[in-house]
Amino acid sequence: MMRGTNTTRILVGFICILSAFAIDQLTKAVIVEIVMQPPRVIYVTSFLNITLSYNQGISFGLFSDFLRDRLTLVIWMTVALVMVLLVMVLLVWMIFSHRVVTTAALGLMTGGALGNVFDRAQRGKVTDFIDLHAGSWHWPTFNIADVAIVGGAIILILCSHRSTSSLI
């Protein structure tokens, strides 16, 4: 794996953060303000639709009914604190990582997490629009921030399997 100077690695990481965040926010704005006026299901392929939805739960809509019905300020503050702490952990890990690819992966994850945190802070919910499905079975609708988070995690996993002899 390629090792870079501290400055190069950190620059790559911050470029990944800004790119993931900006692309996520841009696609959400375009979907909400332009593409989904009026709201509808857009069939792209036999396995992909564009469908506007809002996630009021945690990741992939988990606990959305529970949270919508029983949500208190204390729970929201706890969820927000956990999200901010997670972003901070990813950011610190990114800054102190030793490889460019690891820094980039962590940057993608951080940028994606920030995109969803920003959405939740701004709207109280996360805008989702990518609907993957096989027949009548649908994966929970997601967005570009989720793609960045999962993509970064996959890169981290692949890097850790490629080189188990050194730190990621």
Active site members = 128, 146
Q: Around Cβ 88, how many Cβ atoms within 10 Å?
A: 11
- The burial class, CB within 10 Å (0-12 / 13-18 / 19+), for 50 is middle
| Positive/negative CA dihedral, 154, 90, 106, 61 | positive
> Residue 77 in 3-state DSSP?
helix
Q: Give the H/E segment covering residue 101.
A: helix 100-123
CA separation for the pair 123, 73 (Å, rounded):
15
CA separation for the pair 98, 106 (Å, rounded):
12
Tokens of 75: 């729970």
Tokens of 36: 């989904």
